[in-house]
Chain A
Amino acid sequence: MTIRKLLIANRGEIAVRINRAARELGIRTVQAYSQADADSLAVRLADEAVEIGPAQAAKSYLNVDALIAAARSSGADAVHPGYGFLAESARFAEAVEQAGLVFVGPRGDTIRMMGDKVAARAAAAAAGVPTVPGSDGRIDSLPDALKLAEEIGYPVMIKAAAGGGGRGIRIAHDRAEFERFFQLAGTEAQTAFGDGGLYVEKVIERARHVEVQVLGDGTDAVHCFERECSLQRRRQKVWEEAPSAALDATKRRDLCQSAVALARSVGYRGAGTLEYLYDDRTGDFYFIEMNTRIQVEHPVTEFVTGIDLVREMLLIAGGQPLRLKQEDIALRGHAIEVRINAEDPAKDFMPFPGRIGELAVPGGPGARFDTMLYAGYQIPPFYDSLLGKLIVWDEDREHAIDRLKRALRELTIGGVKTTVPLHLALADDRDVRANDVHTRWLERWLETNGSRLG
């Protein structure tokens, strides 16, 4: 069936993005919104809007019953979850389908499997995709864990099987630390997650974060090449680009083919991303996890492939088989995305909600600004600080960085502090320009340069 009316179960710039893709396909849009978002751009752009509860996300954007009720009352026949909130909730995906509606994303059981780190790792191993050396699943006995740690070589990461968002991770540098942390981590995991299960993984130092965008229709899958997101702060991506300048053609082919193999083996449906660590000294890559949703940084892939990923998601959810064949998907030029957050980079990225004064958005060749802002908009303090994303494209990485600087200087967001000064400084940094970065590079850089970002 073709989708006729879509409930957008999210907010901010991604709700605006989904609205645009739906409208271009002739799909009517219904924007779900909390009381704090009645004035949002997403509400203004949608054909209809339904209030789903108070400002607190737990009572609105995370309220499954309220969202299903909104879909039903508006006569929507499909639900797009965006990213964050309920986008990777198997329970939500299943509730949507049980209500007789289409969930724009993978099946609930796929979300559940890829959300469990141990199961996802097992699925990767079964598809022949390399994973970070470590325990095959949970490891309960200290003697077994110790033996494995010595085989892998220190430093070794001890992780809670049920953990997430960086919680429940300890790094041991030698045998004594390993013994101590293993027992401590087991107790902590039991207390925090109600599950004391642990697993052990090699620490990849100076790793790059490279991820492959895939599209699947439940049977077949294709890749849309990779992105590199090595510049991170507190495990949050700050600057993302496509393609990864760290890969050569052979490595790129191997990496992307491994992602397609895994997506096919789990019968993946919709847009998804397989995240890898890439060690550019050894040329080894390791699967770490899959995100079963559209991602914040999807526009860099759209720029270098010319594919509208959200449109493809909607067509697949509407029951169409994949329209794209792998040989039709080509890589052209270089794209960079930077996240524009309402934060003060000079003051340890303190959140900075406020009312938007003047707003001037960059234009010209190869510049795209995906945002939730309009002049006079009062940014609510209840959600994350992402205001928009500036994405640029040019023929190669060097030109793309120059275009990024030009576009950042055109961008004016009055009334709040933003992360624009950070991105301008990064665009001029010698290591960034030489692409000599890794996942811990930015935090070290900020220790020296953070206070100068006024």
Chain B
Amino acid sequence: MSEKHILSPLPGTFYRKPAPDKPPFKDVGDMVTLGEVVGLVEVMKTFYEVKSELEGKVARILAENEAAVQAGEPLIELE
């Protein structure tokens, strides 16, 4: 399943937006390029950027904003 999914690199809390008052990094229909930041994962009070290792168009957002995620959990599905 992972060939079309952007996975969380770390366990923690997933954030879709760079800041609470900012728009999400990506919405359904947006294009994602290789290495582009698509979200943040907070682990032990430190923030890490989730960089896409795939290219394509966002089909579905699988993890909600502020959801608890595991390492390797799919966050975004691409078409």
Cα distance A384–B12 when bound, in Å? 12
Q: State whether the Cβ of B11 lies closer than 8 Å to any Cβ in chain A.
A: yes
Q: State whether the Cβ of A342 lies closer than 8 Å to any Cβ in chain B.
A: yes
Q: How far is the CB of B64 from chain A (nearest CB, A)?
A: 12
Cα distance A112–B10 when bound, in Å? 38
Q: State whether the Cβ of A382 lies closer than 8 Å to any Cβ in chain B.
A: yes
Within 8 A of A (CB), among B18-62: 42-46
Contact partner of A383 among B11, B44, B66, B68, CB < 8 A? B44
Interface centre among A54, A56, A382, A385 (most CB of B within 10 A): A382
Chain B residues in 8 Å Cβ range of A384: 44-45
Check B46 against A55 for contact (C-beta < 8 Å): no
Q: State whether the Cβ of A351 lies closer than 8 Å to any Cβ in chain B.
A: yes
Cα distance A80–B35 when bound, in Å? 46
**Proximity bits, A348-370, B CB within 8 Å = 1, else 0:** 00110100000000000000000
Within 8 A of B (CB), among A316-336: none
Say whether chain B's binding surface is mostly helix, strand, loop, or mixed: strand
Check A353 against B13 for contact (C-beta < 8 Å): no
Check A351 against B44 for contact (C-beta < 8 Å): yes
Q: State whether the Cβ of A432 lies closer than 8 Å to any Cβ in chain B.
A: no
Chain B residues in 8 Å Cβ range of A381: 10-13, 43-44
Chain B residues in 8 Å Cβ range of A351: 10, 43-46
Q: State whether the Cβ of A36 lies closer than 8 Å to any Cβ in chain B.
A: yes
Q: How far is the CB of B57 from chain A (nearest CB, A)?
A: 30
Check A55 against B44 for contact (C-beta < 8 Å): no
Say whether chain A's binding surface is mostly helix, strand, loop, or mixed: loop
Contact partner of B68 among A36, A350, A353, A385, CB < 8 A? A36
Check A353 against B45 for contact (C-beta < 8 Å): no
Chain A residues in 8 Å Cβ range of B42: 382
Check B68 against A55 for contact (C-beta < 8 Å): yes
Contact partner of B66 among A36, A56, A343, A350, CB < 8 A? A56
Chain A residues in 8 Å Cβ range of B46: 350-351
Cα distance A238–B43 when bound, in Å? 20
User: How many residues of chain B get a CB closer than 8 Å to chain A's CBs?
Assistant: 11
Chain B residues in 8 Å Cβ range of A353: 11-12, 43-44
Within 8 A of B (CB), among A361-396: 381-385
Closest to A343 in B: B44
Chain A residues in 8 Å Cβ range of B11: 353, 381
Chain B residues in 8 Å Cβ range of A382: 12-13, 42, 44, 68
Given contacts A36-B68, A56-B66, A353-B11, contact A383 B45 (CB under 8 A): yes
Closest to A58 in B: B66
Cα distance A186–B45 when bound, in Å? 28
Q: How far is the CB of B15 from chain A (nearest CB, A)?
A: 11
Q: How far is the CB of B21 from chain A (nearest CB, A)?
A: 12
Cα distance A350–B68 when bound, in Å? 19
Chain A residues in 8 Å Cβ range of B45: 351, 383-385
Closest to A55 in B: B68
Cα distance A385–B10 when bound, in Å? 14
Closest to A59 in B: B66
Cα distance A385–B11 when bound, in Å? 13
Within 8 A of B (CB), among A27-57: 36, 54-56
Chain B residues in 8 Å Cβ range of A383: 44-45
Cα distance A2–B12 when bound, in Å? 41
Cα distance A342–B11 when bound, in Å? 14
**Proximity bits, A50-78, B CB within 8 Å = 1, else 0:** 00001110000000000000000000000
Chain B residues in 8 Å Cβ range of A343: 44
Closest to B10 in A: A381
**Proximity bits, A146-188, B CB within 8 Å = 1, else 0:** 0000000000000000000000000000000000000000000
Given contacts A56-B13, A381-B10, A382-B13, contact A342 B44 (CB under 8 A): yes
Shortest Cβ-Cβ A-B pairs, 8 listed: A351-B44, A385-B44, A381-B12, A381-B11, A381-B43, A351-B43, A384-B45, A55-B68
Given contacts A36-B68, A342-B44, A385-B44, 19 further A-B contacts (CB under 8 A): A54-B68, A55-B13, A56-B13, A56-B66, A56-B68, A343-B44, A350-B46, A351-B44, A353-B11, A353-B12, A353-B43, A353-B44, A381-B12, A381-B43, A382-B12, A382-B42, A382-B44, A382-B68, A383-B45
Query: Chain B: residues with CB nearer than 8 A to chain A?
Result: 10-13, 42-46, 66, 68
Contact sample, A vs B, 18 pairs, CB 8 Å cutoff: A55-B68, A56-B68, A343-B44, A351-B44, A353-B43, A353-B44, A381-B10, A381-B11, A381-B12, A381-B13, A381-B43, A381-B44, A382-B42, A382-B44, A382-B68, A383-B44, A383-B45, A385-B45
